[in-house]
Amino acid sequence: MSELRWNPLLEEWVTVAPWRQDRTYHPPAEHCPLCPTRPGQPETEIPEPDYHIVVFENRFPSYTGDQGRAEVVCYTPDHDSSLGEQTVDHIRDLIEVWRDRTRELSRLPNVKYVYVFENRGEEIGVTLSHPHGQIYAYPFVPPVLQRELAAGARHRRKTGRCLYCDVIAREKGGPRTVIGDERWLAFVPEFARWPYEVHLAPIEHRGGLPDLDEQDDESFALTLKGLLQKYDRLFGKPLPYVMAMHQRPPGRGHGHHHFHVEFYPPNRTRDKLKYLAGSELGAGAFILDARAEETAAELRALVDYLGGVVLPAAVDRFTEASGHSAGEWSITSDVHGGLAYVRAVGEELGVEPQAVSVTSRVPPNAGISSSAALLVAVAAGLRPDLEGKQAALACQRAEQKATGVQVGIMDQFASALGRRGGAILLDCATLEYQVVPFPDEVAIAVIDSGEHRSLADTPYNQRRREAESGDPKRRRHVDSEIARVHAFVAALRARDFDRMGALLKQSHISLRDDFEVSTANVDAIVEQAWSTAGCYGARVMGAGFGGSILALVQRTGTAAFEKAMARPVLFCSTADGAYARRARAGRTSDG
């Protein structure tokens, strides 16, 4: 059995378990003890050839027998997966497992606290890289929870309210909110001790996992998945973290405690970690070199308009980039202002300076993703080995850095991973996507409004902030646009071209009236397109404020349509994005 030693200076227990020195340490994947047992291979901790979720006692436990329990929770047989990559249904099943184990372990003699947690990443000290969590049943209430419970009790005696409920009331809808819905909220606390620390909690008072109902579970799973996906998109690589669940102790007391989950990622930048040194370890005083409001904004920005789905397509208008090593970044290009983009994406990818040459058939400042095409073209030339999603995220961060505009991920994703013959149905919160076939007999028409603009010179950021803060008109557009995307996909699959056109018309009206990003000139052109024979529908493109108009036109009637419009029209077909083709020449289509 492990040995408990009392520290009289801090009045807390220290656990001594010397046999843990012999635990398995960074085995190769083929000898992973948490993978299923494969035919013809040595038996692992899990004798079955496959599994859904498995819980078993740790072979090298910190607590045994009457002292408590140490359990391992394996939630995927995939050695290279992660919690954030599981489906919402799977995470909901995992929540049920956590709840069941909490109830069972709470009944054990001498167990004073049940602690559910996950350590992820070597930076945290993980010795087995296979994704898994753990559950400790302690014979005492751990010091952090003791302090938290005591603070909550004092607040209840003083105010009659739950301390954490008051914290949530201050954070809900504020500048430190990251993600959430009507039942759960994720935020960077004002008092965060780690740069990207996040708390995830039910908005209604709940004491622990056993107190959650089915609706709580659904919202918990959705919000947890969304947060973890944000973490992994933050720096374009898996983010290490400790996930710690703070629930009330077993028994009838501590009704004032509010269940919540705390996340402690050690990163302060992509390649720099925050270490606990003299002040934190020796004095217990945390010093943070980041503002919670700024790190929350970074995490919050990793979606397109609060998440939801979009339906972009890459088309056959290409940007080409080539380059060679140089002492500093430079560009020879017909794209105005391209150097800032090239330098930003190069720095984001960690590439040495290059002299870059760019040619493009994508009209600039016309609302058809010329900047995304440029960034992805350069990224594909510099890092053709990069996974397409990670390339798109790097290009999104580069554009935000180069322009100061909080652009979403849609354009970069389409330019990187678009498919010939299809549109991309993309979930911006999770980056899960599927290809929806697009009919050859429908031409994608891009109509130049004559109003060219840079996003940095428009109220784009203001509109985004208004949407994120819950402005009723802006939010109505976001919600209705998500519904229209789903309806458009259904019409596309049914080849109902008239319905597709009607949805485009509804979309423009919403962009004009609720999101207010159209102009009188654009409205006139859109209405002209609506009334032109052979046009199924039309709407303003991209972020609006001028730029171009998107129309869907009968392929056989393109010449007549252009003549009737009496202005330049670019007719396009869907095309592969740069990373869909794994091109090494840096050639990509716009989104």
Catalytic residues: 132
Token output for 185: 């909220």
Instruction: Label residues 280-305 b or e (16+ Cβ within 10 Å = b).
Output: eeeeeeeeeebebeebbbbbbbbbbb
**DSSP assignment, residue 162?**
-
User: 3-class SS at 150?
Assistant: helix
Residue with tokens 């329990």, as numbered in its chain: 69
Checking phi first, is residue 206 left (phi over 0); if not, alpha (psi -120 to 50) or beta?
Answer: beta
Query: Cα(342)–Cα(333) distance, rounded to whole angstroms?
Result: 11
Is residue 41 within 8 Å of 57, Cβ to Cβ? no
Is residue 389 within 8 Å of 382, Cβ to Cβ? no
Is residue 387 within 8 Å of 400, Cβ to Cβ? no
Chain centre distance of CA 251: 37
Q: Give DSSP secondary structure letters for 27-41.
A: --GGG-TTSBPPTTS
Residues in contact with 101: Cβ distance below 8 Å, sequence separation at least 6, in sequence order: 55, 71, 73, 114, 116, 135
- Burial of 477 from C-beta contacts in 10 A (0-12 / 13-18 / 19+): buried
The amino acid sitting at 113 is Y
Angle CA 342–343–346, to nearest 5: 85
Residues in contact with 142: Cβ distance below 8 Å, sequence separation at least 6, in sequence order: 113, 115
Query: Cα(504)–Cα(481) distance, rounded to whole angstroms?
Result: 10
Is residue 151 within 8 Å of 162, Cβ to Cβ? no
In 3D space, the residue among 460, 172, 427, 433 whose CA is nearest the CA of residue 303 turns out to be: 427
Beta strand segments in 34-120, E: 54-57, 69-74, 113-120
Query: Cα(293)–Cα(200) distance, rounded to whole angstroms?
Result: 16
User: 3-class SS at 215?
Assistant: helix
Which spans in 84-162 are helix H?
88-106, 143-159
Query: Cα(457)–Cα(337) distance, rounded to whole angstroms?
Result: 14
